[in-house]
């Protein structure tokens, strides 16, 4: 399995201080959720630690790395630069940090948009990124934090819904995968 201490040292030098603190918050939150739901703790810690490993370079460099590694970006991902780091991060986790576990790589790949019918590890990383203690307070966050530890599918649905509302309110592009994630969990909870 991954040498978390070694990865932490590498990331501490690559990420800005605030991003590194967020990364640690996600890692520990993911670990807590993994213990709550009986998931593999080391997988959750690894995915949480590496979830933003593709975010440190500039957007231009992220795009160049996507070309280098032949990462196919969907139209929405190319338009909304904040989404690029998820696929790039999964690739870098494998190529630069030695992660070969597909469960961890998928959790990193889908941590920004979610996807329909996520694995428990994917849900954990998706939510840990949203609810970690360092996140600034936004409407609905306390409820989503609580639901994450009691009704995880409900938390995923609320998280996707809140993301969609934020994007619509700020007139930003909406990735179709985020919409599909919301619709899937909204239907599944009926």
The answer as to whether 142 is a domain residue is no
117: CATH? 1.10.3210.10
pTM of the model: 0.96
DSSP per-residue letters across 126-158: HHHHHH-TTSPP-TTHHHHHHHHHH-HHHHHHH
CA distance 92 to 86: 10
The answer, yes or no, to whether residue 31 has pLDDT greater than 80, is yes
Q: What is the extent of the structural domain holding 107?
A: 4-137
- The predicted model gives 130-143 an average pLDDT of 94
Q: What is the pLDDT of residue 118?
A: 98
The answer, yes or no, to whether residue 147 has pLDDT greater than 70, is yes
Q: What is the pLDDT of residue 63?
A: 93
The answer as to whether 188 is a domain residue is no
pLDDT tens figures, 151-175: 999 999 999 999 999 999 998 889 9
Domain count, the chain: 1
């Amino acid at each position: 399995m991954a040498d978390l201490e070694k990865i932490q040292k590498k990331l501490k030098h690559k990420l800005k201080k605030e991003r590194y603190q967020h990364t640690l918050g996600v890692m520990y939150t993911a670990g807590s959720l993994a213990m709550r739901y009986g998931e593999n703790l080391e997988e959750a810690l690894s995915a949480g630690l590496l979830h933003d490993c593709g975010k440190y370079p500039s957007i231009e460099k992220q795009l160049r790395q996507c070309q280098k590694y032949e990462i196919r970006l969907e139209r929405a991902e190319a338009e909304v630069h904040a989404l690029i780091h998820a696929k790039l991060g999964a690739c870098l986790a494998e190529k630069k940090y030695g992660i070969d576990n597909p469960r961890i790589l998928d959790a990193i790949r889908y941590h920004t948009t979610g996807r329909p019918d996520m694995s428990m590890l994917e849900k954990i990383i998706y939510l840990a990124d949203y609810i970690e203690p360092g996140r600034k307070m936004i409407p609905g966050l306390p409820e989503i934090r609580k639901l994450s530890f009691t009704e995880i599918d409900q938390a995923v649905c609320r998280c996707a819904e809140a993301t969609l509302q934020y994007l619509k309110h700020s007139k930003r592009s909406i990735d179709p995968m985020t919409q599909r994630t919301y619709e899937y969990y909204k239907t599944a909870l009926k």
